[in-house]
Structure 1
Amino acid sequence: MTTTVDTAEIAKFEAMAAEWWDPNGKFKPLHMLNPCRLDYITRQIAAEFDRDLDAPKPFDGLRILDIGCGGGLLSEPMARLGADVVGADAAERNIPVAQVHADQSGLQIDYRHTTAEALAAAGEQFDAVLNMEVVEHVADPLAYLTACADLLKPGGLMTCSTINRNPKSFVVAILGAEYVMRWLPKGTHEWSKFITPDELFDLLSKAGLEPVDRKGFVFNPVAWSWSLSDRDLTVNYVTTSLKPA
């Protein structure tokens, strides 16, 4: 089976697997960003599937894939909202970390060491795919996004986030995050693999999806917090696309 897995990229995250749930560890940036990511994801899913986020289990009956799930930082909130969650990751060491934390939290999550391509080949189908901070780490973005599109049911929704490619993103996401703040190990990201919003929209369209929204994730160093922006997509950003019914 063909795969878009980049073994060098997987090795980076394998080395950090045990630190997924340490809010002050190597994944501190994701812990800081997670509330903002969740706000965007839950609102998009609720709007598309006409769900009330104030209900006890608003995502009950929805099957959601968290591709590149890592330690489960997104899988667990989706499960708490009532979704049937599959968390998949190509980095084998992430899976037991995620599973143990879910068990400790009393959550039923189907964690698997697998790839988008393997899931698509097996005929798996989902109402929503969470594809967050993965596409900049794969060997073939179009093939990867096509596999993710194949995993969606007609009318399904995918959120996909990544990092823009421009001088600012090099300064902020690589020099700042890896060398100055040391939030991430040096070499976590390759600037050449970053994708502009227009490029991502084009890739999503070629994969058979309809891009319908994009927002920026903006970090405020004074408030030390993240927020969504309609205008500032210069570094981190997120998109929503739909599979035609």
Structure 2
Amino acid sequence: MAQQQLPPAQDDYFFSSYADEWWNDSSKMNPLKSFNPYRFEYFDQFVEGSWADKRVLDVGCGGGYTCEFLHQRGSRVSGIDPSPRLVEAATRHAKDTGKDIEYSVGKSEALPYANSSFDIVTCVDVLEHVESPGLAISEIHRVLAPGGVFLYDTINRTFRSRVMMIWLPERILDIVPKGAHDWNDFITPTEMIAYLGAAGFTPLGRLAGLAIRGQNKDGSLKINPTRDLSSLYLGAARA
């Protein structure tokens, strides 16, 4: 399992403060695992055959939740994140649990991979946090093989999303760390389609939504698929 080393950088990324506890059952980040079964129920329709042996890159991998989810499906997984601390946590957990996942430190706007390196790129709960979503999406297109698939979710910039993704989870239910999201960085579907078109992608299928309905006793989130795109929405595109 390899980890690409980049020049030292100050790790002031918001989520990096949770690196040491990322994989603890009591971690503030643990509820994020709840999204993957619902995300991939939607994503699966855009993947030809199975995920087995597909070359998959997870952009903004954090401490590795989605990378390990994909590894369990038999994919050849790489993950990249701007936080050295999170990459260290992800690498350590994969090693401790015997998973062959390649992690690298880097930004989505400058992916350290050759052209056409991957069959699939996933990018979940990330685009609303990056400095330049358009540049990140262009880089994702570059590293995808021709005909490869980009699978993503992000958050719409609406009054409802301010309530459902900031006020309610961060300030009322306290299930998301305060400051995790900035409403001004949310991306409307119209903006997202424009980014995809500028990068050379062809959108696939119909966008879908996910709604957080609360939290279960075990700490996992109650999530419902929905056609409502006013908050968290998912999409796919082909390179």
TM-score tier after normalising by the smaller chain length: 0.7 to 0.9
Mapped to 2, the partners of 1:237 and 1:227 lie a distance apart of 12
Gap regions ≥5 residues in structure 1: 1-6, 52-57
Given the alignment of the two structures, is residue 227 of structure 1 paired with residue 224 of structure 2, yes or no?
Answer: yes
Single out whichever of 158-167 and 15-24 deviates more from structure 2.
15-24
Give the match for residue 218 of structure 1.
211
Distance 1:121 1:70, change over 3 A: closer
Mapped to 1, the partners of 2:233 and 2:160 lie a distance apart of 13
Instruction: For 2:228, give the aligned amino acid.
Output: D
Shift in Å, 1:23: 4.3
Distance 1:97 1:202, change over 3 A: same
Give the match for residue 106 of structure 1.
98
Gap regions ≥5 residues in structure 2: 1-8
Give the match for residue 241 of structure 1.
237
TM, length-normalised to structure 1: 0.84
Shift in Å, 1:141: 1.2
Shift in Å, 1:220: 3.0
Shift in Å, 1:39: 2.2
Distance 1:235 1:15, change over 3 A: same
Do the aligned partners of 1:169 and 1:235 also contact (CA within 8 Å) in 2? yes
Mapped to 2, the partners of 1:121 and 1:220 lie a distance apart of 38
Render the CA deviation track for 1:212-240: whole Å, top value 9, x for unaligned: 131101223498621322x2111111110
Do the aligned partners of 2:157 and 2:231 also contact (CA within 8 Å) in 1? yes
Given the alignment of the two structures, is residue 36 of structure 1 paired with residue 29 of structure 2, yes or no?
Answer: no
Given the alignment of the two structures, is residue 165 of structure 1 paired with residue 157 of structure 2, yes or no?
Answer: yes
Instruction: For 2:189, give the aligned amino acid.
Output: P
Distance 1:35 1:193, change over 3 A: same
Identity %: 33
Distance 1:143 1:197, change over 3 A: same
Give the match for residue 83 of structure 1.
75
Q: Secondary structure at the match of 2:212?
A: strand
Given the alignment of the two structures, is residue 147 of structure 1 paired with residue 139 of structure 2, yes or no?
Answer: yes
Give the match for residue 168 of structure 2.
176
Do the aligned partners of 1:28 and 1:183 also contact (CA within 8 Å) in 2? no
Do the aligned partners of 1:38 and 1:74 also contact (CA within 8 Å) in 2? no
Q: Secondary structure at the match of 1:111?
A: strand
Instruction: For 1:38, give the aligned amino acid.
Output: F
Mapped to 2, the partners of 1:164 and 1:123 lie a distance apart of 30
Give the match for residue 28 of structure 2.
26
Mapped to 1, the partners of 2:13 and 2:79 lie a distance apart of 19
Render the CA deviation track for 1:35-92: whole Å, top value 9, x for unaligned: 21232233432xxx2x1xxxxxx32331000111111111112112211111111111
Q: Secondary structure at the match of 1:165?
A: coil
Q: Secondary structure at the match of 2:224?
A: strand
How many pairs were matched up? 226
Task: Give the superposed CA RMSD.
Answer: 2.2
Shift in Å, 1:202: 1.4
Distance 1:210 1:8, change over 3 A: farther
Do the aligned partners of 2:110 and 2:136 also contact (CA within 8 Å) in 1? no
Instruction: Determine which of 102, 113, 119 is the counterpart of 2:111.
Output: 119
